[in-house]
Structures are given as C-alpha cells and as structure tokens.
Structure 1
Amino acid sequence: MKSIVFIETVRYGAAKDALEASMELGYAPVLLTGKQSIAKEADQWHKNGLVYCIELSEDMIREVLDELLREGRQLQAIISFIDPYVSMAARLSNEYCQTALSANSMCCMEDKHRTRNALESLGVNPVYTTLAEDSLRTVSFPAVIKSSFSKASRDVYLLRTKKELEAACYKLTARQRDVVILLEEYVDGLQYIVEVIVNEGLPQIIAVVAQDVTDHGKFIVTGYSIGNVPPEEKWNQLQILLEQIVELLQVERASFHMELRLTSIGWKVIELNPRMAGFTMNQMIYEAYGINLAKEIVRLHIGEVPQLEKNRECAVYTYCMTTELCGFFHGVSGVMEAAAQSGVTSVQVHAKVGELIGPAMSMGQRYGYVMASGDNVEQARKRAMEAARLITFYIEEV
C-alpha cells in the first residue's frame, strides 16, 4: 500500500489539509503524533489511515518507519508542516523514500541565527547581535529579542525599556539555556508573509499576504489579507531577493514562507520558515486563487510537479478573534448570523466551553476567525469586520 507519513498535525490549518489531500491523491496517510487528543480521534480517519501516538524523537520515529516497511507499506514521502519536525521529516524522507528534498536548507531556516548569518551579504537583516552582557549595555529601544528556534510569536518579545529586556532575558534563558538568543533592532513597516514553492531550483511566489500586527509586548497577527500587491518596483525587488535567498541557501526542492517588512529603505527579512504558514493560510489562498497549496506541497514532496495555475482571483481578508477579558469561556452567539453575511466564506470559533481564555500572548490565543472575500481588500475587510461584530463571546471573568 502506497503511504505518506506525516509527523504531527493540528485540528485545522495546512497540516490537516495536507493529510486530507494525501487521500485525494490516492495515498494512505500515516500520522505520527505526540498528542493523545489527536490520537483519540483516529476513528474519524480514512479507512486506510493509521495513527501512532508516540514520543516524537527521531529514534521512536525510525522505529515506526521500520515497522511500516516490514508490514509492506510503500512509503512515498515523510512530511511535517509542524515545528520543529520539518527538516527532520525531509531528511528521513530522503533516506527512507529516496525523495530529493532540500533538507539542509530547511534545517538552516529552522535556526534563526544560522539564517541571519547566511543572509548577511544581502543587506536585508535588521541590525542584530547574540545575547551577551556587553550587548545588554548598548541596546537601543525599541528592540526585539527572540530564541533562535522561536515558533510564531512564542519566545519573541518587543522591548521598549531596559526592565522589559531584563525580564525577557530571564524568561528565555531560564527555559532554553543552550539556545542562542538574538537581540535585534525593531523594524518598522508593513509586514507580509510570502508563500514560496521551489522546484528544481526555480522559486515561485504563490501568494503575498499582508498582516495586521499588534505589538503590545508580543507580536500577534489580528488580520491577514490577500489582494494588495506591493508596488511594481517593490515587487521586482522581492523577486530578486527571493532568487538570492534560494541561491544562497541552495534550495532545490522545498516550500517555505518568508516574513518580511517593507521599510522606507526596502525589504527586511524578519524570518524564514521551512513550511507553509498555518492558521487560515491554505484556505485563504484557495479562496483567492483556487490553489490548494497544502495539496500541491504534498505533490512536491512525492516528486510530482505542483499544479499552481490560478483559476480565479479575488481579494480575501481574515479577521482573527481575540479578547481583552480573562475568564472562563461559556459559549458564543451570532456565528450563524455572521456566516450568512454577504461575502463571508468561513467562520470558526476555536475556544472550548470551560476553557480559561484571556488576552493574546501568543498566536495560539486567537480564539477564532471570520474570513470574507470581495472585489478588493477594503471590501473584504469590511465584510469580515461587520460579520465579526455579530459574534459575542460569553466569558465569566476571574
């Protein structure tokens, strides 16, 4: 039986979409997860799907892969859309499945410090240093401090005072004593995600997604939009930058996304991630262009040519729901009304009854979203925001 192995998943987003896409492509998915909550939902799986709940160490993963081979499974690829398993999955895929993925390039992207060093010659890094006593004495505010293996907004802090710097240093070094800590200048400007696929060394931009970011100590994205393309000059600069990055990192076959800020002096790289962005990214790209990017990434990993032609083009906006209150979530109203509004394509609430929720200190503390399409971003944003106003969270404050 031809199978694709996935290392870890989530309940929604690109990782889940890729699992479903593997079935559509005719393969039996095998999921390795460290989450018992995911494993308990195995009965919802395709009849040919398998779920293993294991410690996601390389040794344990290899044991399962060897067992699958002994059972006669024909492994076509090993894939992960989840940090920190992306490059390991690609390396194991090359070994077990004879794929030709750029595992070393992915490994470099997973390490923010290595990425900064690799891109040094391009002049697109913010001013940065590694954490040391002398750097603390000379830092200019505002500044950003992050773990070299930070994930999304976790382990990334915006600093405006020396006191905030000292507190963030303590948090990061207490949890990650052996990890390099980066101290960077704060870069002002519009922030974008750029989704990229590289096949046979040729990079292709799939989508440029603008982000609405709040920066009250943590960087939380509260909105995403597709439709406002950067001016032609900046677009051309972006294309050149992408080609330079692919050449420097020796990327031949991979998907990744760049987080960039467009400043008064050009593009600055915030970070590279060797996977597709999560949350609603795959759904947004599908609504905007008719491309199921998660599915095409699976094609890429199994050695096929991704099908990336747009069959439509419209603007899409996603509003992310957060709360300023702290308390127990008791329910929600207005979801059906919001979903029925003109242009609204999806409404989801991720908070669970009885869950303690509060102001977002990480991307995982966004409790749902409203997605809408339109002729332009302004119309799509207006539709999403108006629909979101119909939704009420019931919270017992503590």
Structure 2
Amino acid sequence: MTTRGLILVEGTGNSLRYVQAAQRLGLHLIILSANPAEYDYLAAEGAEAIRVDTNDLEALIRECSRLRTTYDIAGITSPREAVYATIGKLCRYFGLPGPNPASIERCCDKSAQRQLLAQAGVPIPAYRLAANATHVESAAAEIGLPVILKPAVGSYSSGVRLCSNADEVAEHTTYLLGGAHIWRSSPRILVEEFAKGPHYIAQIMGNDVIGIEAAEFDPPPHFVFRKCTLPALLTDDEHQRIVGVALSCLRALDLGWGPTNIELRWTKRGPVVIEVNPRLAGMPDPQLIQSAYGVDLVTEHIKLAIGDEWNLRKRHSLVAAARFLNPDRDGILDLIEGASQAAAIPGIVEVKLYVEPKTLIVRKGDGGDSIGHVIAASHTRAQTEAILQRAVDLISLSITPSPAFDERNNE
C-alpha cells in the first residue's frame, strides 16, 4: 500500500508538532524548504526535508508532482505566512483542500487588508500608505503623533516601531528604507494611528472563534510579546463585541478556511482591529489553546488540509498563561539555568528553549527576540499566575555583552 504523505512547505517553531500530529494521523511528513538543514532535528522524528526554492511556484509544483509518484499525497499545508498564498495555489493545482490564495494575498498586504476592512465598516486605526520619507513625514503629521511605522508586508512585528516624535519617525524611516530591513515585497511603509488600550488576540479556525487571549508587551518602542493569557478576563458584552468584530473581519477579507488569528486593542470606541493574520499563530499559542481547552489546533489544521472531519470541541476549561523569556541585552548567551527545575513545578505545562548556550543574541525588537517560553495552566487565574511566576523566577540567563553590539541599533 502506498504511504500517505503530508507536504509542509517551510515550517516554524511548531514544525515538530506538525511532524508528531501527522504521525498520529498515519501520515509521513515531507518538508519542502529553501534551507532543509534548518529541519535536520526532525529527521529523528521520521520527517524528511527536501531543498526547493519555495518562492518558485513552478518548482514547487514539479517537486510535489515527483513526490506523488512515491506517496499518496493527502494534503499540502504550512504554518508560515510568507508561503500560505502559495499553499492555496498548490492545493488548487492538485485538487486538494486549501485556502483561497487571492484572499490570503490581499490579507497579507496590510494596506489592502485595511482598505477592505474599512469598506466593510470594521473599526481600524487611521492609517496612510507611504513609499518614501517625505510621504511618511506628511502622513505622520496628518494622523498625529505618536504613530506606528510598519512594513506593508511582513510578520512577527518585524520592522514595527512606535514613534513618539518627528525625530523617531525620521530615524525609523531611514532604517526601513536604508537597506537594513529585509523586505518581502517592494518597500512600502504603513503609517498608523497608535490605538491605545488592552491587547487581545482572537484565535479562530474556520468561522469558529475558539478563544480570546489577553496579550502584554515588553516596554515600547517595539512590540515584543511578554505574556499571553487564555481566556482573557472579559465581560460577556466585551467578549461578544470582540467575537462580532472578528467574524466581520473574516467576511470582509473572504477568509473562513483554516486558522486565523486577529489582533485587536480595546480602545475608547471599543474593539479596534490591529492585524488579521490568515494563518495558524506561532508558538506558544497552539500550546496555550491545548492547555486551556484541550483543542490541538495543529492536528485539526492537518485534518482540514487532508479533507478529514475536524473537531474543535473543548475537552476542558482551564486558565493557561505563557511568559516569554526575553533577553535584556545583546551578547553571548553563556548559559540558561533553572529550566528543568521550573518544568518540574506542578501546573507547568511546558518550558521551551529556542536557543542553545553559546548562541549570539542580537535583539531586533520583533518576535525573534524571545529565546523561550514557559506555560502554566490551572483551574483559576490567580493560581496559574502564581505557578507561572514561580517557574519564571527559577530561570536565569547569563549573557556576556559583546563589544560589537554595545552600541546596537535598537531598530
């Protein structure tokens, strides 16, 4: 009998979970990547990685066609936003379940996304699209300081900064347009009103809002997550208003197939949409959802991709929270102590380290700055918070500053 296979085009920090979930479903996972060495650690889990230019649709079609001569390819998917529209095109080519590529492409362009949301009456911050420094300066003046500057296409808060005055606007514009930032598309900057208020994330699969997280950040000017709690502490009215706005986003952007996560701020005028991400959220959100509700979004995403019946039924209801381990300086990570002791605390679900000792730490002010996370879960909010804090207090990082980065550009 031909082995059933699942093709994953590139991966993220959740790649191991995809391998394990695929195995539980009787699937052999094959990763197509521009850098297959990145996934060497998955070979021991039975996955294979093949080198392909994942920006080249024709190359991907050829490789998928070749693999179909050996495997019964049941599905093609990815957790990575940069290739998710390509996933939709591959699925349509091979007649497999998948997202609408046109909808994904529109959503991943933050300017196009905001236009569609505004047309549908979804509350969003005031914004302007700028192509050069002069346009950025005038847009910031029109909107009024402080403003947020961000690339029109991008993810994980890369290149995103809060600018409180004209000098900071000019400085960050120079950074974005001066060659330091790596662009996924032609350079265009979104200049956006800073929506003030608590930050929430609606986690969605299909058209079902599974849960709403509360999120906290490290101090500005960047937006590096510090902590996430699920479920967020909301009144029934607040919960329903966020759910209503989230579902309006899906309709406005023609989404509703597969995973989506929507970031919002609760402002003086209620929920305001900051970002719609048409993909599965990165670590540790799937682990947080499984800890709180017993729903494995990675497994359910794979089931959807292979055309099987999926199930979002909540198996329990706990309060889960995650703290990110964010370094406070650049340099060489000499050692991380206390992780095993933290993991042994009752109520700790996971202590995950992303890097090894002797790694060079260079913070960029985005999602890549975190070097690990800790997840706790219990029946009460207070207990979860106490367990999490106890675990985090046990973990210590030793970083030797590197002279080359003492004058680091915080951009």
Letter in 2 for 1:365: D
Q: CA deviation at 1:254?
A: 2.5
Task: Provide the rounded CA distance (Å) in 2 between the counterparts of 1:241 and 1:127.
Answer: 17
Contact 1:130 1:183 in 2 (8 A): yes
**Aligned partner of 1:197: which letter?**
M
Contact 2:304 2:310 in 1 (8 A): yes
Kept in 1: contact 2:350–2:375 (CA 8 A):
yes
Matching residue of 1:41: 41
Give the letter for the 1:329 counterpart: L
The equivalent of 2:82 in structure 1 is: 84
Aligned counterparts of 2:251 and 2:330: Cα–Cα separation in 1: 47
- Structure 1: tracts of 5 or more residues without a match: none
Conservation of the 8 A alpha-carbon contact between 1:77 and 1:97? no
Name the residue aligned to 1:274: 278
- For structure 2, the residue ranges without an aligned partner over 5 or more in a row are 403-411
The TM-score with structure 1 as length reference comes to: 0.92
* Amino acid in the other structure paired with 1:6: L
Deviating more after overlay: 26-35 vs 286-295: 26-35
Residue of structure 2 aligned with 1:113, choices 86, 111, 114: 111
**In the TM superposition, what whole-angstrom CA distance separates every residue of 1:30-56 from its partner, at most 9, and x where no partner exists?**
11122243243353132xx43202322
Q: 1:75 to 1:359 in 2, by over 3 A?
A: closer
Q: Is the 8 A contact 2:203 2:209 kept in 1?
A: yes
Q: Distance in 2 between matches of 1:39 and 1:54?
A: 13
Q: CA deviation at 1:325?
A: 2.7
Shift, 1:370, TM fit: 1.6
1:74 Cα deviation after fit: 2.4
Count of aligned positions: 389
Partners of 2:256 and 2:396 lie apart in 1 by 47
Higher strand share: 1
Q: How does 1:321-336 map to 2 (within 5 A)?
A: 321-336=325-340
Residue identity in the other structure for 1:104: A
SS of 1:155's equivalent?
coil
Letter in 1 for 2:341: E
Equivalent position of 2:203 in the other structure? 195
Matched with 2:215 is: 211
Residue 250 of structure 1: aligned partner: 254
Amino acid at match of 1:129: R
Distance 2:275 2:38 in 1: 29
Q: Percent identity of the aligned residues?
A: 20
Are residue 230 (structure 1) and residue 234 (structure 2) matched?
yes
The CA distance in 2 between the partners of 1:333 and 1:98, in whole Å, is 46
Deviation at 1:296, TM superposition (A): 0.4
Q: Aligned-pair distance for 1:291?
A: 0.8
Cα distance change on mapping 1:214 and 1:274 into 2, 3 Å: same
Name the SS for the 2:289 alignment partner. Answer: helix
Larger mean Cα displacement after TM superposition, 166-175 or 383-392: 166-175
| CA distance in structure 2 between the partners assigned to 1:214 and 1:50 by the alignment | 37
Q: In structure 2, what is the equivalent of residue 7 of structure 1?
A: 9
Asked whether the 8 Å contact 2:264–2:271 carries over to 1, the reply is: yes
**Change in 2 beyond 3 A, CA 1:330/1:340:** same
Equivalent residue in structure 2 for 1:320, among 314, 320, 324:
324
Q: Distance in 1 between matches of 2:297 and 2:291?
A: 11
Aligned position for 1:129 = 128
Change (3 A) 1:27 1:351: closer
Q: TM-score with structure 2 length normalisation? A: 0.89
Q: Secondary structure at the match of 2:82?
A: coil
Say which SS state the counterpart of residue 269 (structure 1) adopts: strand
Structure 1 counterpart SS, 2:29: strand
> Which letter maps to 1:191?
H
CA RMSD of aligned residues (A): 1.9
**Cα 1:238–1:354 shift into 2, 3 Å:** same
Matched, 1:26 2:3: no
Deviations 1:328-376 (A, max 9, x none): 1111221222122232121122232221225562211111122111222
SS in 2 for 1:92: helix
